[in-house]
Every structure is written in structure tokens, then in C-alpha cells.
């Protein structure tokens, strides 16, 4: 029975995460806290032999994946379809600045996100399509293996929604903390995805986080 296990993680914290800026596809670095989170994640996953490691090309995801890869003698494979949603004209702005310039659109993003196409950016439908394709191709290439995939908040949320058969408007009902661990399994004979673990953060010394990030 061919099965692929995917450990899907979110990248470590960036300064823009902490400040509440919309970063999208701006290639921000991990903050000092984010670097520490990456090391804690790698240590936690040492007990799980990884057969392959994938990440988006954005540094915050790549560096998070590389901490884990180096401890297990692996190299990180880049898949650009895993990169964060493009926020377009919102990128680099604080949530309060977006409110001032795009008040009605921001309100829609916060209530009916699947209906929003950000100015110069992407929609949830667009990123759901590209990330779902990437996830399934990774699974097909790694049957009977355990694979690490380091991605981003919006990417992880739309993947979880699709596995559960939930509408993309359920986006804000799914939480993904920095360096959280999700475990997904794909069974080829059943052609079925399962969620085994969601938003696990105990490796950072907490069962859950009260952090509410305004930007992605």
C-alpha cells in the first residue's frame, strides 16, 4: 500500500511577521527569533528520518527547511509553487496602512477572503491551484517516504482546506503558527489525503499560541 507522509511546516518568524506587515512574496529574512525557531524545529524533527526536503524559494521558508535538512544530511529542493500568496500593492504595508488605503477590500479579505484578488496580487483560488499541484506531485514522487515541505501561512491554510473539502472562505478558521508542524498522509490505493497533526508547536515550549498576525 503506497503511502507518502508529508511534514508540512510554516517558516520561522520574520521581523515583518512581528510588525504586522503584509510580506507576501517580498523575500524577507528570518528574525533572530525565527532563526531560533528554525533550530528548535530541526531538533524536534531529528527523531523523524527525512527522505527528502522541499521549500519555496523565499529565504524564510528555505532557511527553515535548511536547518532540518542539514541535521539529516539532506539538501533542500526548491518548488516555486510553494511560495506565499502575492499581496501586490499591500506588500510592505502595515495592517493599519492597508485599512487606510483599501478599507472595504480589507474588510472583504477578513470576512470572505476567497472573493478577493489583491491589487497586483493573487487570489486564494490561484494559490490553491498551484500549491495543490505541487503537493500532489511531491507525494507521487515520494511513495513510502517521509518528506518535509516548508511553506507559508496562506499556502498551508489552503492546502488544509482542500484536504478537508472545506471552502477557501474557511481560511481564517485555520491557524498556522511560525514553525508549526502539520503531518499529512496520502494513500495511493484510496486516493485519499488525511491530516494526522495540525499546527503542532510543542517544540517551541507551548501547546498553542495566542499570537494573531495581521500580515502574512
Catalytic residues: 11, 152
Distance CA 86, CA 26 (A): 8
Helices H / strands E in the chain, number of each: 7, 6
- Phi first, then psi, for residue 65 (nearest 5°) are -65, -40
Question: 140, 102, 138, 134: which is closest to 118 by C-alpha?
Answer: 102
State the distance between the two ends of the chain, measured CA to CA, in whole angstroms: 38
170: which DSSP letter?
Answer: G
CA atoms within 13 A on the CB side of 94: 5
- Contact (Cβ atoms closer than 8 angstroms) between residue 149 and residue 137: no
Question: 202, 158, 152: which is closest to 178 by C-alpha?
Answer: 152
For residue 134, the SS3 value is: helix
Amino acid at each position: 500500500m503506497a503511502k507518502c507522509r508529508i511534514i508540512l511546516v510554516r517558516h520561522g518568524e520574520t521581523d515583518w511577521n512581528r510588525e504586522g506587515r503584509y510580506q507576501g512574496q517580498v523575500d524577507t529574512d528570518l528574525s533572530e527569533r525565527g532563526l531560533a525557531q528554525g533550530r528548535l524545529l530541526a531538533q524536534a524533527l531529528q527523531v523523524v528520518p527525512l527522505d527528502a526536503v522541499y521549500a519555496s524559494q523565499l529565504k524564510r521558508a528555505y532557511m527553515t527547511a535548511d536547518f532540518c535538512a542539514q541535521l539529516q544530511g539532506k539538501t533542500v529542493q526548491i518548488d516555486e509553487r510553494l511560495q506565499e500568496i502575492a499581496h501586490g500593492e499591500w506588500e510592505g504595508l502595515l495592517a493599519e496602512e492597508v485599512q487606510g488605503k483599501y478599507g472595504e477590500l480589507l474588510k472583504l479579505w477578513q470576512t470572505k477572503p476567497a472573493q478577493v484578488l489583491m491589487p497586483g496580487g493573487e487570489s486564494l483560488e490561484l494559490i490553491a491551484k498551484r500549491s495543490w499541484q505541487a503537493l500532489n506531485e511531491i507525494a507521487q514522487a515520494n511513495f513510502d517516504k517521509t518528506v518535509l515541505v516548508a511553506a507559508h501561512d496562506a499556502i498551508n491554510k489552503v492546502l488544509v482546506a482542500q484536504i478537508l473539502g472545506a471552502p477557501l472562505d474557511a481560511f481564517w478558521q485555520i491557524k498556522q503558527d511560525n514553525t508549526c508542524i502539520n503531518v499529512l498522509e496520502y494513500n495511493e490505493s484510496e486516493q485519499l489525503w488525511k491530516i494526522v497533526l495540525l499546527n503542532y508547536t510543542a517544540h517551541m515550549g507551548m501547546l498553542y499560541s495566542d499570537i494573531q498576525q495581521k500580515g502574512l
